[in-house]
Structures are given as structure tokens and as C-alpha cells.
Amino acid sequence: MKTALIQHAIQGSAKETIAKTVSLIKEAATKGAQLVVLQELHQDRYFCINEDVACFDLANNWERDIAFWSGIAKENTVVLVTSLFEKRSAGLYHNTAVVFEKDGSVAGKYRKMHIPDDPGFYEKFYFTPGDMGYNPIQTSVGKLGVLVCWDQWYPEAARLMALKGAEMLIYPTAIGWFDEDTEDEQRRQCDAWETIQRGHAIANGLPVISVNRIGKEEDNHNVLDGIRFWGNSFVAGPQGEIIVRASHDQEEVIIVDVDLQRGEHVRRIWPFLRDRRIETYGDLTKRFID
């Protein structure tokens, strides 16, 4: 299956950023992409860098956003994985991945479950944790286990998607480092981010697709120096092998063949699901064990 990973920086405005994304989707489609994966909250800047009630207005166009990206998927005849700011009701908002089928219909959606709250990543201020569970989305190109960014660090989320029949794991992402961090610390963070996702691929015998943005985004409140998103979008195979990896700072449309059949072979030689001792895992539902 030809899959496109679209990695780019924000432009001068939301309108310009969306236009850039659309142009890159068209480029991917002309190159034969069947599945296109976008980065987290791709329509605009990463507004969670600070807490500002005015930013909730960015979700006011939720229904219009759905219609717009539906049209883009249909126009380009691709299965499209988006990442949008959902206004569910007054005071109730989600970080939501919406997957569109090739005909523009909504194949399904996933509300981000794990919500971070760190300097520069104040997502708990904006997003209510998801309540839709971990359910793969059936599409014409396969059963997609779509999760979002901070979900990357939780093996439980990946496992539950796998146990429900996901044929791949997909992570739209917005993650970066601070320029004031040492070069060694920056590298450790990026390596950890990639390593844990490759671990999800290995533990579940599934390919993993992770798409991150690039570029430095400023804090418009001038509290922080800003976040430099580290790119490095990648695809890992079911043994954790890197199939393709983007640069840390360049706009890229990567087209890669993802073999959905190989997971079956890997699971036969590494039958981790067979050997799980499910009767011993009850304590996983506890916060901590004293």
C-alpha cells in the first residue's frame, strides 16, 4: 500500500498553512499515494504552547473543517488521516483525528486519550480526554489503529488497538525540543520518542507510521522562547526496522510502500500475542501498586 507522510512547517496564517497542506496532498496523490497521513493539529500553529481562552475559537469551524477535508480526500481519491480541534459543546473540546475515505465519507474518528500538561504543551487546558476507546477504523486500505502524539508513550494504547485487529498504528504528532536544551538532551528526547514507537511495532507485529511537524514556533505570550519541532517522521516495520525516516528540519512528502501482509509472517515467528499471560495482568488497571 502506497502511503504518504506529509511533514511541513506552519505558514504565515491558518489559511496559508491549509493551502500548503492541500498542495502537498495533491503532490502525494499524483505520486500514487492511497493513504495520506498529516501531522497533529495541522491546520494552524501549535496553540497549546500557552493557555489562552481565545484559542478555543479555533474550534468554532469544526463542522466546516469536516466538510473541507472530506472534499480534499474525495478530490484526490485518498484515504486521509487528519488531526482537528473538535468543539463538542460549550466548554467541551477534543483533540480529534478524523479519517476520511476515498469518496470523502467519514470512515471514523479517534479522540486523543492521553493529554499532556508540560511547559509549552498545555493541552489539558484545551482538551478533554477522549471517551471513544481504542477502536481501529476500517477503511478501503486497511484497518487503521489511529492514535495521537502523547498516546505514543503508552504501550497499553498500542496493544489495545492491536488486540482489536488494527493492521497498522498511526500517530499524527506535534513534538519538539527547546533550543536552550543541550544537544545531547535534544538527541536523547528524539531517540526515546522513536524508540518507544518502534517498540510498539515489535511488541504487536505491526507497522508504525508517525508524522511530525518541523520548524520553530514562537510563544506569542513571550513566556517561552518557543518550540522547535524535530520532524523525523518515520515508518517502522513489524520488527521495528526503520523503513523510511524524514529529516529533522525539511519539508517532505514521503511515499513509501507499507506491506500489511508481513505482520502475519512476523507474528508467526514471534508469537507474542499467543504467549501473553492475560490472567496475570489485572494490576495494570491500577494507578500504582504500593
pLDDT of residue 12: 92
The DSSP 8-state label assigned to residue 276 in this structure reads -
Give the residue extent of every domain in the chain: 2-285
Question: Closest Cα to residue 114, out of 77, 153, 144, 75?
Answer: 153
Reported as a pLDDT band with limits 50, 70 and 90, residue 106 is: very high
> CA dist 111 to 104, 225, 242, Å?
20, 30, 27
Kindly report the CATH number that applies to the domain delimited by 2-285: 3.60.110.10
Angle between helix axes 155-163 and 183-204 (nearest 10 degrees) is 20
Dihedral pair phi/psi, residue 167, rounded to 5°: -100, -10
Q: How many CB atoms lie within 10 A of CB 97?
A: 29
pLDDT of residue 37: 98
Reported as a pLDDT band with limits 50, 70 and 90, residue 113 is: very high
Catalytic residue numbers read 40, 112, 149
pTM of the model: 0.97
Mean pLDDT of 87-102: 97
Q: How many CB atoms lie within 10 A of CB 233?
A: 26
